[in-house]
Structure 1
Amino acid sequence: MTAGPSKKRQRVQQSASTSRHSSVIPTIDCSSLPDKSSTEVSKKPLNLRRNSSFSSIAAFNDASTADILLRLYLEVTPFDSSDSEFITSSDVQIYLHSHVLRRSKYFSALLSDRWQPQKDDDSSPLRLGFGVPAAHGSMDSHLAVLELLYVDDMTEAIDSAKTALDLLPVALKFLFEDCVKSCVRFLEAVPWTDEEEKRVMNLIPFLQEEESRELLSRVSPGRNDSCEEMLQGLILAAIHNYPNMAFVKAFVAKLLKDFSSKESAKRVLKRAFETSLKVVKESLEEYSSPNFRGDHNETEAIQRLNLHTAMTNAKHLSWLVERMIELRVADVAVVEWSEQASFTADLQRAFRDDAWRGIVPGFPSVLLRCTSKLANAVAAGTILATKQVRKKLVKHWLPVLLVSKDHSPLLSSNKNLCMELEETFLRIISTLPLSDAQELLQQCLSFTRNVDDCPHLFKGFNTWFRRAMHPPQPEKL
């Protein structure tokens, strides 16, 4: 996007000697201009302080001292449907001074001995014509840039991004370096609207590399992975730095949902999921390790810390699983969750011990909630898991559910969660081959509470028996 010195300013300078860009080719005319074809500029001058070396000698549009009479006229293209009388009446003529115009490299080249014609009357101003694009505000922008030739400090005139963007294309056309630098410096320092940003990007190719560097840095990432790094930082901040601030998590969740690259979001969430799961597993492993079992205060403090760490990161896992399911990228989480044979064995051992109840009573519920969310997505077809993944998901996490029900009386408040997970496991079992379903269904007998309170279990067994007793006949298929 960037360009070196051989960009628009050089091309515009070349146009003074060629006919390729008619919009910037002046016409030099030593004869009188018809009064009806142009009018002296009646535009209100910019409210600028004239404390410059230029304005102390000459004033903008001062006919008494000017040696240049510049006619600005709206250009008509073959496709222009504008009224020709309006275009002619819009022409203006301005009295200018050659020593001021030379601040513009364009006019400096134009007024050099090579291009300046010999005049019969040296007392009359040199007459020049300059074509202005027939666009809204174009004439005003050209007049404003010409007036800025007469001042050193342009900060009063360039007071908004819109003004800078209106003046910059004209300053580039005139090769008016001081004005270009002032416009660019202003644009570097102020915010842009979306529309202004588009205009800035359209002008970047016409700026020199050193001029466009700061503008480009605002919209160009330093590295290819900067978006993922930003997402990673937001997720870590939401789950670690603001544990009790639900609105922060909701804000990050919306950013993830609206993020344009699904694959980037998937990679970021996968890394965060794996990190939190690793912490939960390591904390529980340290809690279950015989090396840390004892009655002294230090051991008890370590045990409490391990359980609290596991509980905190389990909550992070639950939030991450929700985001992954919401974005339909939870397939990697399901595969990882189904491979936790060692972790679920540690959970069963821990939940059979009464020590955890007074420290993190809600720990089983958090893990079962994660399992329920992933299992529901599998059963609903939101996540298309393979047969092996479906089987291992139920095989490894079904015992955790059963142990939690038997050894955690506090789970009575989560009866609906348990029943929902039971039903979901039965639905997944129904998708497995009959031999696998037979093995897993027998472990589901613990789902029974009373005969009238487990219709989902009756349905699971009846479905299996119906299929086993009435298999499809090959000749009838």
Structure 2
Amino acid sequence: MDTALQTKPCRFGDKNTSDIVICLKNREGIPKRFYSHSSVLINKSKYFANRLSHPGSNNCIDIYCSEVNYDHHVNLLRLLDLPTDSILDSFDSVKSAVGILQLAVFFQCEEIACCCIQYLEAVPWEDKEEELILKAVSKLGPKAMPILARIQPVDLAATKDVFISAVRIATSIAGPCPPFGNELKTSAQEQVEFMLGEDEDAPLVTADEEVKSVLRMGLSQIYSSFEKELSSLLLEPDLVSERAEEKILHSLCDLEWMCNILGKMDLMKDFVSNWAESSSNVLGVVENNKLDSFMWGLKIKLIEITAKVLEAVGYGNVILPTPIRLTLLKTWLPYIRKMKPLLDSKGSQETGFPYKMSEDLCQSIEGAMVTLVLALPSNDQADILADWMGAEQVRYPDLSEAFEVWCFRTKSAKRRLVEGLDGAGNATVSL
């Protein structure tokens, strides 16, 4: 900047000191004049320096812009006249800084572009602004690294550390987290689910031995909490109170969440084994006479979780020995068969009764039970089918498909036996 302009500061729009007029023209070609200074433009912008060094240049520069970025052009021209240490303080929004950054790159205003990057790197963004920022910095190369560092992919080791920490909080392995309490736990559960969400991208976390170990610890912790709440349920002085059901339901919802998580990490067998082992104790409490007219939310939630277990075993996703599969079926079939008409009756008697077995849930249980029955030894199938048909209400679950297949298989087995005996009786010995 020359001596005259140093003694008399350059101010954007000052006609008295201006020696350059910049005309911003919109799509209609209507110009708006802004008074600037050649020394400033040359020092701050390589684009304007090249324009003004052209032999045929004059004291008027035409720039075409759209209505969308008109304000950004004006702001950029104002920033050119500001001292460097004042540029950062002039930004008032992410949108404005991104717009100015795009123009600063185009007009080769390195100083302003660096200030935009510094501002964007330091301030919070909204989700909708992120794509705009990425588009703006995509051509900046190494200069954009401070911005990109915030959103670049995290290495697998760091991601795993975050995931494991979240699982510990979500399952209360490390105990409660005052002062956040359940809010942090709920948030951790949501984010663990999000990290395991199925989409077109590769999974964020792989189930290595360390991850599996923490998940199993979490399952043990949640099961322990559930069993503790369940065993103390009958000791509650007021079973009608919402508080009594709320405590056990909260624990059961944690268990359901764990079921969903383990299913995504190839650890469903751990959950199913625990559920099969504790089923008789669970029903021993739930079917107590004290709970005949209460805890409908607990009862329907138990059926929903059991449906997931039955599906996993029935369709072969979890392989269990025959005795465990048989016990699982014989434990839950009578209970579900009893609860379905009872819940339907409550629903028809009480308007707005929320605890019903949905059609999808019913179909899921029915299909899983049919496949479970058909995978058992034929004598065990016969016992279950005889008990099912001997019940007062055979409407649900409908095991008629399993009954038909059993009849066909039994007849075929007998035929094979007879044919085998006939073949043995007619056998000749040749020397």
TM range (shorter): 0.5 to 0.7
CA distance 1:117–1:319, change in 2 (3 Å): closer
The yes-or-no answer on 1:428 pairing with 2:371 is: yes
Q: Which residue of 2 aligns with 1:59?
A: 11
CA–CA distance in structure 1, aligned partners of residues 200 and 162 of structure 2: 13
1:103 counterpart (43, 49, 61): 43
Residue from 202, 222, 228 that aligns with 2:135: 202
| Match status 1:70 vs 2:21 | yes
Q: Does 1:146 align with 2:77?
A: yes
Alpha carbons 1:395, 1:440 under 8 Å: kept: no
Match of 1:260 among 184, 199, 206: 199
**SS of corresponding position for 2:149:** helix
| Inter-CA distance 415–225: structure 2 relative to 1 (3 Å threshold) | farther
Q: Is the 8 A contact 1:235 1:252 kept in 2?
A: no
Distance 1:196 1:54, change over 3 A: farther
Superposition deviation, residue 216 in structure 1: 0.5
Q: Aligned-pair distance for 1:334?
A: 5.1
Q: Residues of 2 paired with 1:208 and 1:245: CA distance?
A: 38
SS in 1 for 2:148: helix
The aligned counterpart of 2:408 is 467
Alignment of 1:132 with 2:63, yes or no, is: yes
The alpha-carbon deviation at position 438 of structure 1 amounts to 1.2
CA positional deviation for 1:349: 12
Aligned to 1:264, what secondary structure does the other structure show?
coil
Report 1:178-197 matches (<5 A).
178-197=111-130
> Is residue 373 of structure 1 aligned with residue 325 of structure 2?
no
- The C-alpha deviation readout for 1:390-428, integer Å capped at 9, x for no partner, is 6x36532433676899xxxxx9999649x9999777522
Report which of the two structures shows the higher radius of gyration computed on alpha carbons: 1
Listed as ranges, the matches of 1:269-348 within 5 Å are 271=212, 274-276=216-218, 317-322=255-260, 332-333=266-267
Secondary structure at the aligned position of 1:154 is classed as: helix
Q: For residues 93 and 159 of structure 1, do their structure 2 counterparts lie closer, same or farther at Cα, with a shift above 3 Å needed?
A: closer
Counterpart of 1:395 in structure 2: which amino acid? Answer: P
Alignment TM-score, normalising by the size of structure 1: 0.52
Q: How many angstroms does 1:165 deviate by?
A: 2.0
Cα offset for 1:104? 1.4
* SS class of match (1:132): strand
CA distance in 1 between counterparts of 2:156 and 2:121 reads 23
Does residue 380 of structure 2 align to residue 440 of structure 1?
A: yes
In the TM superposition, 1:348-367 aligns within 5 A as none
SS at match of 1:92: strand
Which residues in structure 2 correspond to 1:142-181 (within 5 Å)? 142-152=73-83, 153-181=86-114
The question of whether the paired residues in 2 share the 8 Å contact of 1:101 and 1:149 is answered with yes
For each residue in 1:79-135, what CA deviation from the matched residue of structure 2 results, as whole angstroms up to 9, or x when unmatched? xxx5xxx30x3153635242x3332141684389xx3649xxxxxxx7245442431
* 1:90 alignment partner, one of 31, 34, 40: 31
Work out whether residues 276 and 313 of structure 1, in 8 Å CA contact, stay in contact via their aligned partners in 2: no
Q: Deviations over 1:153-197 (max 9, x none)?
A: 124532222221222223233333332222222212222234432
* 3-state SS, counterpart of residue 155 of structure 2: coil
Distance 1:278 1:184 in 2: 48
Q: Cα 1:454–1:173, aligned 2, differ >3 Å: closer, same or farther? A: closer
CA contact (8 A) 1:232 1:268 kept: no
Residues in 2 aligned to 1:235 and 1:70: alpha-carbon distance in whole angstroms:
63
Q: C-alpha offsets along residues 261-312 of structure 1, whole Å, 9 cap, x if unaligned?
A: 5862895699465554678999xxxxxxxxxxxxxxxxxxxxxxxxxxxxx9
Q: Give the aligned length.
A: 346
Aligned amino acid, residue 76 of structure 2: V
1:435-461 deviation per Cα after TM superposition (whole angstroms, max 9, x unaligned): x43153367599689753678699588
Runs (5+) with no aligned partner, structure 2: 225-249, 283-299, 343-361, 417-431
Instruction: Identify the residue that residue 323 of structure 2 maps to in structure 1.
Output: 395
Q: 2:169 aligns with which of 237, 253, 263?
A: 237
Provide Cα deviations, 1:323-354, integer angstroms capped at 9, x if missing partner: 56xxxx5694555667x6xx899879999xxx
More displaced stretch, 423-432 vs 456-465 = 456-465
CA distance in 2, matches of 1:138, 1:461: 70
Q: Give 3-state SS (helix, strand or coil) of 2:58's partner.
A: strand
Amino acid at match of 2:42: R
Q: Which residue pairs with 1:214 in the alignment? A: 146
1:452 alignment counterpart: 392
Matches of 1:348 and 1:96, distance apart in 2 = 83
Q: What SS does the corresponding residue of 2:392 show, helix, strand or coil?
A: helix
Task: State the distance in 2 between where 1:102 and 1:133 align.
Answer: 20
Which whole-Å CA distance do the structure 2 matches of 1:424 and 1:158 have between them? 62
Q: AA paired with 1:373?
A: K
Residue pair 2:385, 2:399 contacting (<8 A) in 1 also? no
The one-letter amino acid paired with 1:96 is: H
Query: Is the contact between residue 448 and residue 454 of structure 1 (CA under 8 Å) also seen in structure 2?
Result: yes
The answer for unaligned runs of 5 or more in structure 1 is 1-52, 76-81, 119-125, 283-311, 352-364, 406-410
State the identity as a percent: 15
Q: In structure 2, how many angstroms separate the alpha carbons of the residues matched to 1:458 and 1:260?
A: 36
